[in-house]
Amino acid sequence: MTAIIPEISLIVPCHNEVENLSALYDRIKAVMEKTGKSWEMVCVNDGSMDSTLEYLMALQQQDHRIIVIDLSRNFGKEAALTAALDHARGNCAIPLDADLQDPPELIPELLIKWQEGYDIVNAVRLSRDGESWLKRASAHAFYRIINRMSVVDIPTDTGDFRLLSRPVLDALKMLPERRRFMKGLFAWVGFRTTEVYYHREPRY
């Protein structure tokens, strides 16, 4: 059997997300069908205690575009993302959270910017519905402090939701860092970067 390389890799770290996966899959499928592009969805089970793994395996049986990576324990989101990005086969990859806080409906806008020639397209949050005052204030303080320490500018109000082109993915693979802060590394590698904007929804 020859493997057909998909154009787009969707990257989903999953820690106890079984209740979100059905809605996530439905929304991703609907959006990707409209783009007319071939795709895969690389899901990493990051040491879930619920039946996330069983759900993903069942999904994989019915849709071979689903790729499942099962980590041996909970390593945390940064490690889960790294594992998935290393397995992505597409010409670009789009990490998004399993809880639908990163709306899949934004994917076509990310793809348009990529087709215009950008290598990184950051999805920037305009609002954080359902997030507490404390979460907003601590996130704001975090980015102010880290950007004072860092030589590269780490964009505020940008999560892991973004598009990364194949040259960026290959550059990330060459970095030796083992304990990783992906948002920092995404900024560090450089490349032509732009942004699109969206409203962040509450956890599904």
Binding residues for ligand UDP, rule: CB under 6 A, are 13-15, 17, 46, 74, 76-77, 80, 97-99, 101, 203
In 3D, which of 196, 188, 127 has the Cα closest to residue 161? 196
Structure tokens at 53: 């793994």
Least separation in angstroms between residue 107's CB and ligand UDP is: 16
CA angle, 127 then 20 then 201, to 5°: 10
Helix 77-87 to helix 166-173 angle (10° resolution) is: 120
Which of Mg ion, ligand UDP, none interacts with 46 (beta carbon under 5 to 8 A by kind)?
A: ligand UDP
Indicate which of ligand UDP, Mg ion, none lies near residue 78 (CB less than 5 to 8 Å, by partner kind).
none
Beta bridge partners of 42: 11, 67
Shorter beta-carbon distance to Mg ion: residue 97 or 119: 97
Q: Which is nearer to ligand UDP, 17 or 40 (CB)?
A: 17
Of the two residues 191 and 198, which places its CB atom closer to ligand UDP in the complex? 198
In the region spanning residues 86 to 105, those forming contacts with Mg ion, defined by CB under 5 A, are: 97, 99, 101
- Give dist(CA 129, CA 83) in Å, integer: 30
